[in-house]
Structure 1
Amino acid sequence: MIEWLKRVSLFDNLNDEQLENIVKIAHRRTFPAGTVLFHEKDLGLTFYVVLAGSIKLFTRSTSGEEKVLSVVNAGESFGELSLLDGRPRSASAQTLESTSVLELSSQAFMELLQSHFDITRGILSELCRRLRQTNEQVNDLTFLDGRTRVLKNLITMANRNGKRDGQTISMHMALNYDELAQLAGVSKAVLSDVLRELENRGVLQFGINEYRLNLAKLRG
């Protein structure tokens, strides 16, 4: 289990002994696709580390319209904010596929932070990264056109979670078209037009729950 935790950016600065302390307070669980782990406004009592699979974080408007904020993949974590500030969840979380996670309860997690400054420092660093990412998303929605936002989202996901082989990056994709459009902040029609254009140019190739990005043709 320690080898799994070493892949989590939140714990980059921790040694094996410190990671063992995390393992001692964590519980491993596996959920089928479509499982809602928590809803927006719920009280935050659990912090999650994704071991395998993927989870979407999303909100709903008063009219019921869904907006995907981000996708959390293996080696990433979520749910810390509610544990740290004591406020309700800012978004809902739902598995996109069969997903395994480590769960850490609020009380045990806070006790861990109090006794291990390196863990606290790592979390602060991760939260700063996410704040910068949120600021960048707001900037993108303000200044970038729909085509550029779609392309930037695909490249970002490929860089974060893809596997590179020469000039090709393969990326597992559990999002459907509606969810991918929400993530990019565009309509489904705009998304379809952009993906069709990229596929025709040979920049993108689609398989079952995956896509491949050709960097050479992207730069061409």
Structure 2
Amino acid sequence: MSEFRNLGQLPNVAWLSIVSEAVRIRILQSCVLREAERGKVLYRFGDAPDGLYGLISGCIRMDTVQSSHGPTMLSLFHSGSWLGEVELFSRMGRLTTLTALRPTRYAFLSNAAIDAIAREAPELWKALGNLAAEHVSLAVAAMDDLAIRSSRIRVMAILLRLCGARIENGSGGIARELDVTQSELAQLANLSRSVLSDLLNEMEIEGLLSREYGKLTILDIKRLKLEL
């Protein structure tokens, strides 16, 4: 589908393979291309759902604010990721907040476009259900990560999830450079910053990752997976 090269990996994800080629083309043709600067919020917790967001390039952070402790980072998403499908089924308020962590290009498929396509091709809802199931699998993996007794293995599992390599056959792309601070990673792993720092030092010496201010770069995804 050379006509959709400007959409990057978005046309080739698993959930779009469920619909017919004609419906897939209509979905992609109905997308509006948008850009977001670093720090721009695409939508906030509680907002009325307006459509589906497909990440062409850049990085998106997903937060929840359901905790009394304030916003909590859930995960990072990279090129090829489609987000925002869950609330489309009930039209309830957004459950999370999406924020661009770097200059980001994305495709937006509005509620009106989704409804219009689904009226003629009801299988679109099954495809969106598959996308939702994929995100449920990711959420289950996140809960499983927190149950890992070994702090080292738990951190490795979280790093794989943040770079998009935690579950097999995920739609989103894999990114080795992660826009995450050590404080955020410590919160995700339920560890103190000092314990996390020691673990990251070990992994850096072993050649598994490298660190810069506010960033981590995964150098060997395969070795991280082998330790899980």
TM-score (norm 2): 0.79
Deviates more, 1:101-110 or 1:47-56: 101-110
* Shift, 1:50, TM fit: 0.5
The question of 1:199 aligning with 2:197 is answered no
Look up the SS of the partner of 2:124 in the other structure: helix
**In structure 2, distance between residues paired with 1:47 and 1:130:** 14
Look up the SS of the partner of 2:179 in the other structure: coil
Matches within 5 A, 1:68-87: 68-87=73-92
The question of 1:210 aligning with 2:210 is answered no
Match of 2:155 among 143, 150, 172: 150
CA contact (8 A) 2:40 2:100 kept: yes
* Shift, 1:92, TM fit: 0.7
* Shift, 1:51, TM fit: 0.7
Match of 1:2 among 1, 4, 9: 4
Q: Number of residue pairs matched?
A: 212
Return structure 1 stretches of 4+ with deviation > 6 angstroms: none
* Shift, 1:153, TM fit: 2.0
* Shift, 1:195, TM fit: 1.0
* Shift, 1:77, TM fit: 0.8
% identical equivalent positions: 23
The question of 1:139 aligning with 2:144 is answered yes
Deviates more, 1:26-35 or 1:199-208: 199-208
CA contact (8 A) 1:54 1:95 kept: yes
The question of 1:36 aligning with 2:41 is answered yes
Match of 1:94 among 87, 99, 118: 99
Look up the SS of the partner of 1:12 in the other structure: helix
Which letter does structure 2 place at the counterpart of 1:99? Answer: T
**In structure 2, distance between residues paired with 1:152 and 1:21:** 37
- Give a deviation string over 1:118-137, Cα, whole Å, max 9, x none: 43222212212222322232
CA contact (8 A) 1:171 1:212 kept: yes
What do you get for the CA RMSD once the two structures are aligned?
A: 2.7
Residues 35, 13 of structure 1: alpha-carbon distance in 2 compared, 3 angstrom cutoff: same
Look up the SS of the partner of 1:49 in the other structure: strand
Look up the SS of the partner of 1:71 in the other structure: strand
2:126 match: 121
TM-score (norm 1): 0.82
**In structure 1, distance between residues paired with 2:62 and 2:225:** 29
CA contact (8 A) 1:48 1:78 kept: yes
- Give a deviation string over 1:41-99, Cα, whole Å, max 9, x none: 111112101111110110233343x3111211110111111222111111111011111
Deviates more, 1:52-61 or 1:209-218: 209-218
Deviates more, 1:22-31 or 1:72-81: 22-31
CA contact (8 A) 1:32 1:95 kept: yes
1:62 match: 68
The question of 1:23 aligning with 2:28 is answered yes
Residues 115, 70 of structure 1: alpha-carbon distance in 2 compared, 3 angstrom cutoff: farther
CA contact (8 A) 1:42 1:89 kept: yes
**In structure 1, distance between residues paired with 2:179 and 2:145:** 23
**In structure 2, distance between residues paired with 1:18 and 1:52:** 24
CA contact (8 A) 2:54 2:106 kept: yes
Stretches of structure 2 that go unaligned for 5 or more consecutive residues are: none
Residues 153, 63 of structure 1: alpha-carbon distance in 2 compared, 3 angstrom cutoff: closer
**In structure 1, distance between residues paired with 2:59 and 2:17:** 20
The question of 1:130 aligning with 2:135 is answered yes
CA contact (8 A) 1:202 1:217 kept: no
